[in-house]
């Protein structure tokens, strides 16, 4: 754990010094929340802001996770990763520290987005519901962080990773249940949305905010996280820079 904490501290210090990066990471989800959440739903039954907020929270975790892969890419390019791999600290500490940092950064960003949502009219829920929401977001964050890290280990340059990240982020978001319920989707889109990992996280958060316990989505997220994390660990153990 000492090595994990050291690598997390290193990345948090680096992130906190880049104020532009901290602010810019919040601009897109905040814009979606304010302009779409308040302006779009003229005929939506109920509070559309409550409906869209889980999608924006998950989108924030998605963006944080995918940008986390770029951090590993820069460590590769600048020569830090090969120095870390040569240290006596177990490789697993490097990987776990990186993934926990990426996930923790995402949770900080989602907290800010959640505060904005409450300020502009989202419904306040109980502390237990918020705790369950953060557990779901944490699981999803680890899933996306492990996936992004695995892809970054395979690719050779930042431009390739940036193109990959751009290619999958918006399609994943727009083919999920973030913006509309399944009942109003075309049949083909509803089928894709039901299989989208983002939808599992979004639906789980919505179930929690409605007072339910999303057992099935949680189990699916947990299973996906374990599988992807296992693949990431195996790839990282064999990596050479």
Please work out, in degrees rounded to the nearest 5, the angle formed at the alpha carbon of residue 93 by the alpha carbons of 99 and 101.
25
Would you say 65 and 144 are in contact if contact means Cβ atoms under 8 Å apart?
yes
Whether the predicted pLDDT of 42 surpasses 60: no
Whether the predicted pLDDT of 13 surpasses 60: yes
Domain that holds residue 30: 2-238
Question: Which of 11-20, 159-168, 216-225 is predicted with the least confidence, judged by mean pLDDT?
Answer: 11-20
pTM: 0.86
Average pLDDT of the chain, as a whole number: 82
Would you say 56 and 29 are in contact if contact means Cβ atoms under 8 Å apart?
yes
Q: Is residue 115 packed enough to be buried (19+ CB in 10 Å), middle (13-18) or exposed (0-12)?
A: exposed
Q: What phi and psi, each to the nearest 5 degrees, are found at residue 41?
A: -85, 70
Q: Is residue 47 packed enough to be buried (19+ CB in 10 Å), middle (13-18) or exposed (0-12)?
A: middle
Coarse DSSP helix, strand, coil percentages of the chain, rounded to the nearest 5 percent? 80, 0, 20
Place of tokens 């994990």: 4
Q: Is residue 169 packed enough to be buried (19+ CB in 10 Å), middle (13-18) or exposed (0-12)?
A: middle
Domain count along the chain: 1
Would you say 38 and 72 are in contact if contact means Cβ atoms under 8 Å apart?
no
pLDDT of residue 25: 65
């Amino acid at each position: 754990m000492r090595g994990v904490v050291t690598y997390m501290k290193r990345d948090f210090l680096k992130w906190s010094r880049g104020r532009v990066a901290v602010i810019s990471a919040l601009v897109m989800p905040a814009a979606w929340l304010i302009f779409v959440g308040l302006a779009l739903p003229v005929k939506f039954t109920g509070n559309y802001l409550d409906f869209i907020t889980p999608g924006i929270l998950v989108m924030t975790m998605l963006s944080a996770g995918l940008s986390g892969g770029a951090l590993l890419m820069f460590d590769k390019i600048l020569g830090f990763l090969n120095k870390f791999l040569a240290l006596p600290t177990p490789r697993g500490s490097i990987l776990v520290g990186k993934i926990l940092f990426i996930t923790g950064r995402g949770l900080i960003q989602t907290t800010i987005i959640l505060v904005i949502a409450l300020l502009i009219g989202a419904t306040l829920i109980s502390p237990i519901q918020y705790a369950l929401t953060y557990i779901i977001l944490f699981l999803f964050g680890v899933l996306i962080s492990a996936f992004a890290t695995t892809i970054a280990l395979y690719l050779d340059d930042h431009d390739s990773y940036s193109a990959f990240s751009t290619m999958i982020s918006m399609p994943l978001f727009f083919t999920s249940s973030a913006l509309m319920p399944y009942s109003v989707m075309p049949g083909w889109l509803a089928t894709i949305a039901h299989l989208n990992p983002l939808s599992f996280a979004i639906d789980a958060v919505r179930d929690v905010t409605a007072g339910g316990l999303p057992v099935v989505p949680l189990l699916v997220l947990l299973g996906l996280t374990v599988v992807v994390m296992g693949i990431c660990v195996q790839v990282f153990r064999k990596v050479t820079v």
